[in-house]
A and B are shown apart, each in its own frame.
Chain A
Amino acid sequence: MDVVIGQAFTGLSTGSILLLAALGLSLTFGQMGVINMAHGELMMAGSYTAYVTQQVFSASGVSLPVSLVAGFALGGLMGLALETLLIRHMYHRSLDTLLATFGVGLVLQQLARDVFGAPAVNVVAPGWLTGGVAVLGTVIPKARLFMMALAVVCVVALAVVLKATPLGRRIRATVQNRDLAETAGIPTRRIDRATFFIGSGLAGVAGVALTLIGSTSPTIGQSYLIDAFLVVVVGGLGQIKGAVIAAAALGLLNSFVEFSTTASVAKVILFVVIVIFLQIRPQGLFTVRTRSLA
């Protein structure tokens, strides 16, 4: 029994990591349709922010909250720069965007290597996040509990922004019908930038969170990029609740399959399941219903 509980927790925890990685993407890719292959590098920027913050504030209890804020800001600003300088020129050409942002990702990786060195750096988790809590015969690592809580906070915050603020209404209006939104006086360009800022900022937050479970290397973001895309695609483009359910489902599926087989086999089975699922439901779990013709 404790195995089932342990694995269920592991699954949800893996899901929450996937969700953190995918949440920003569900905005930039899901809402705006931009395939940003540099999303992983925005996460990496967040991870190194945590590292630099730790060098400045040696007490890591302080540096974690600081780095979450700084990571969001840095990720967001980098995303903003990327959108302004590059992506907006390619809004009609998704394939070009993909290649260009992939190139930007490589440049950022090399930049990180030059600045911080090729060896992975280590961010020390604060004392109150080390060790685990014994629950129902299993041990749950505190760092993973924190990441789950962080994922919940990010989802709720994003949902509130999208559903209950003027900015959120404008974002949704722009997504559903750009021409009509513009006619109604919504500055859609500014909305694009704001959306991209938030989405990229969330990538930075995810990057900070990743430092709690592993080391920080220039390729840290790349390893989560594919999984993040999968979550967004399975959840349905532009659907936060879709992303939440998809992340949890993929995490649970992965953890239980991995427990009875191996990590590599689990990954294969996961991909097979996703491919079959997308054959049946190419639009993902949820779709936005609009009356627009687009």
Chain B
Amino acid sequence: MADPAPKGHLMRSRHLVVLPAVIAAATLLLTGCGNRAGDTSTPAAKASCVDTSGSTVKVGSVYSLSGSTALNEVPINDSVKMAVDEINTSGGILGKQLQLITEDGASEPTVFAEKAQKLVSSDCVAATFGGYTSASRKAMLPVFEDDNALLYYGQQYEGLEASKNIFYTGATANQQIVPALDYLKQKGVRSLYLVGSDYVFPRTSNAIVKAYAAANGITIKGEDYVPLGGTDFSTVVNKIRTAGADAVFNVVVGDSLTSFFREYNSAGLKAATMPVMSMVVGEQEVASIGAQNLVGQPTTAAYFETVDTPANKKYVADFTAKYGQNRVTADSMAGAYAAVYAWKAMVEKAKSFDTAAIQQAAGGVTVEAPEGTITVDGTNHHITKTTRIGVIQADGQISTEWQSPGVVAPDPFLTSYPWAKGLQTG
């Protein structure tokens, strides 16, 4: 008798019940361990293998072209590629054409470290552009330090880091969080509710917010973290609604943002009465969350697509011409684009592709970036930034509502702020 399903499979034995629980636990463990820092073992510092004798010079890029943050990083990679192409069209650097080698970090810090190692020691690139999450940067840091190579990191991040082998062209701690808080304070905000995804960047950011609030007479009405990728914000929004803060300080990232803003709107909260100041909502996130859920909300970045500089007009026009009219540009993309030109300016000033010569020459180098004129700080390797607060429009664009008077000098360790004492150690 052909019986494909004998009674055995129907037994309600105990181990059948336990099995999914075991799998569940294993899955949680696996995802929990995803952010291990790079454990690539590197031999002692070796001489650079960069070859600049020919007519071309190799440069590398490493961004996630697959995995969970590919959504954010693919456009950054496009932006870097465009900058390299532009430089080649206009004659290259020191008469040499650039050859870009693209690697996929696969949204895994360990892969970032591996690929960076490959770029540095077997491709022998003169400079690498890459990294998105702080975890990916921290994983790559030892590779660049051990091999004395250069990494250009274009993403806004939480600060409290300065490696001599990394140039940071995104906003650091005092260039985004602090001006955003200054703006809120100036608007009369006396109490804040902090909400974020549960990992290092939001928690570090909120530690800075709390220190600032304590020194500036702002009450923190509550602080909540939702697991990365979490979709249930109903309780958090209930808490926000009942706490009655003047504004919400939002460091939720990724897909969770959609759930958060939908819940916020459904609860009848309004940008006019309780605005949500977001740290990581740029043009791309607006497209994914849906502009209709965000109209009137403030957000902060150094760059918006609507920024009115000649360099940005050209950048946006070139980018959409190259990649399609429906594409948006955003802070992280402009930061990486500026990084390529910052490297070019440093090489031209140093008249050399050598790491030591570039480190020497870096201080004071200026670039007309899409966000405005940026100047490299030779000591901490960050750049000056104009901080902008924008309001999200119904068409998905962000219009600048306020911008910092003049550029904000980078201060990754917040040493110039008395209230930030005690944060420096992390």
A and B: real partners? yes
**Residues of A that sit less than 8 Å from B by CB:** 2-3, 6-7, 10, 13-14, 17, 29, 32-35, 37, 88-89, 91-92, 94-95, 98, 102, 117-122, 124-125, 130-132, 134, 138-139, 141-144, 175, 177-179, 182, 188-189, 192, 210, 213-215, 217, 219-220, 223, 226, 229-230, 233, 237-238, 254-255, 258-259, 262-264, 266-267, 278, 282-284, 287-288, 294
| Chain B 246-283 interface mask (CB, 8 Å, partner A; 1/0) | 00000000011011001101111000000000000000
B40 CB–A CB distance under 8 Å: no
Query: Do residues B14 and A91 form an inter-chain contact, with CB atoms below 8 A?
Result: no
Contacts of A89 in B (CB 8 A): 4
Query: Do residues A264 and B17 form an inter-chain contact, with CB atoms below 8 A?
Result: no
B78 CB–A CB distance under 8 Å: no
Contacts of A215 in B (CB 8 A): 255, 258-259, 288-289
Bound together, the chains give a CA A124 to CA B290 distance in angstroms of 8
Contact status of A263 and B225, CB under 8 A, knowing A122-B290, A124-B290, A179-B7:
yes
Query: Do residues B235 and A122 form an inter-chain contact, with CB atoms below 8 A?
Result: no
Shortest beta-carbon distance from A146 to chain B in Å: 11
Known: A188-B5, A213-B231, A264-B198; 11 extra A-B contacts, CB below 8 A, are A7-B238, A10-B238, A17-B232, A37-B23, A94-B19, A119-B284, A131-B266, A139-B267, A141-B234, A263-B227, A294-B7
Contacts of A144 in B (CB 8 A): 234, 266
| Chain B 355-374 interface mask (CB, 8 Å, partner A; 1/0) | 00000000000000000000
- Interface hits, B1-53 → A, CB 8 Å: 3-12, 14, 16-17, 19-21, 23-24, 27-28
Bound together, the chains give a CA A125 to CA B258 distance in angstroms of 12
Shortest beta-carbon distance from B240 to chain A in Å: 11
Contacts of A284 in B (CB 8 A): 17
B226 CB–A CB distance under 8 Å: yes
Residue in contact with B265 in the complex, picked from A33, A37, A130, A188, CB distance below 8 Å: A130
Query: Do residues A132 and B234 form an inter-chain contact, with CB atoms below 8 A?
Result: no
B14 (CB) vs chain A CBs: closest residue:
A282
- In the complex, number of A-B residue pairs with CB atoms less than 8 Å apart: 179
The 5 closest A-B pairs by CB, nearest first: A141-B266, A215-B258, A214-B259, A119-B71, A229-B20
B236 CB–A CB distance under 8 Å: yes
Residue in contact with B24 in the complex, picked from A32, A119, A226, A237, CB distance below 8 Å: A226
- Interface hits, B207-228 → A, CB 8 Å: 224-227
Shortest beta-carbon distance from B17 to chain A in Å: 6
Shortest beta-carbon distance from B18 to chain A in Å: 8
B73 (CB) vs chain A CBs: closest residue:
A118
Query: Do residues B225 and A2 form an inter-chain contact, with CB atoms below 8 A?
Result: no
Residue in contact with B225 in the complex, picked from A13, A120, A264, CB distance below 8 Å: A264
| Chain B 280-305 interface mask (CB, 8 Å, partner A; 1/0) | 00001000111010000000000000
Contact status of A122 and B24, CB under 8 A, knowing A3-B242, A33-B11, A262-B225:
no
Residue in contact with A132 in the complex, picked from B4, B6, B66, B268, CB distance below 8 Å: B268
B229 CB–A CB distance under 8 Å: yes
Most B CB within 10 A of own CB, among A120, A178, A215, A219: A215
Bound together, the chains give a CA A294 to CA B16 distance in angstroms of 14
Bound together, the chains give a CA A134 to CA B269 distance in angstroms of 12
Shortest beta-carbon distance from A36 to chain B in Å: 10
Query: Do residues A223 and B7 form an inter-chain contact, with CB atoms below 8 A?
Result: no
Query: Do residues B71 and A2 form an inter-chain contact, with CB atoms below 8 A?
Result: no
Query: Do residues A118 and B70 form an inter-chain contact, with CB atoms below 8 A?
Result: yes
A287 (CB) vs chain B CBs: closest residue:
B12
Shortest beta-carbon distance from A27 to chain B in Å: 13
Query: Do residues B5 and A226 form an inter-chain contact, with CB atoms below 8 A?
Result: no
B118 CB–A CB distance under 8 Å: no
Shortest beta-carbon distance from A48 to chain B in Å: 14
Bound together, the chains give a CA A255 to CA B3 distance in angstroms of 47
